[in-house]
Amino acid sequence: MENKTEEYKEKLARLKGLPLAEKNIRVAGLVTEYIESKHPNIQLIVVGGLSVEYYTTGQYATADIDFVATSHEKIMESLVELGFERQGKDSYLKELQVSVEVPDNHLAGSYEKVRDVLTDDGCIVHMISPEDIFCDRLRALVHLKEKEQLKWMTKLYEANELDQDYIYS
């Protein structure tokens, strides 16, 4: 496993200097592949800003990567192996200026609707569905009065063919 860890650290290091959006999705892919190969019972699912960024084709920008997954401590340990530093609930890779957080162990949405996205490195990123991220932004608009979410909901709607029956349910 030592060689595998070094291999992934080298792959991550090669991402230095890439634009933030491209770097984040590729880091998410490498982290996912590394952790899921090491812990086959863990499935990392990207949620939050990176999913909005992906589904709006880069119109939204985020500085961090949010995953939901079980086994939080195993994930944190794996991130440290890859060179991330723990900073409270986050892990930070200083060399790439990338922060990873695992805010929850349960997906607020449908596991059946999770989409697999292939990165330029050939890694698979499991991504919350555009419908579920749309609903997440709708909840933030309604309950938290975050009016800027309307803009992102509109962009999500315009950029994706959303399952409206699912959203209404």
* Cα separation, 36 vs 152, whole angstroms: 31
pLDDT of residue 89: 85
Query: Which residues have C-beta within 8 Å of that of residue 1, sequence separation ≥ 6?
Result: 38
pTM over 0.85: yes
* Cα separation, 145 vs 149, whole angstroms: 9
Phi first, then psi, for residue 16 (nearest 5°) are -60, 135
Check: CB of residue 60 under 8 Å from CB of residue 49.
yes
* Cα separation, 93 vs 12, whole angstroms: 9
Q: Give the mean pLDDT per block of 10 residues along the chain (169 residues).
A: 90 95 96 97 97 95 94 95 93 96 94 97 98 96 96 96 96
* Cα separation, 133 vs 142, whole angstroms: 14
- Say whether 15 sits in a helix, a strand or coil: coil
Name the residue ranges covered by the structural domains of the chain.
Answer: 2-128
Angle at 56 between CA 55 and CA 61, to 5 degrees: 105
CATH architecture of 2-128: 2-Layer Sandwich (3.30)
pLDDT of residue 1: 62
Give the DSSP letter of residue 129: -
Give the model confidence (pLDDT) of 116-136 as tens digits: 999 999 999 999 999 999 999
* Cα separation, 124 vs 105, whole angstroms: 20
Check: CB of residue 163 under 8 Å from CB of residue 131.
yes
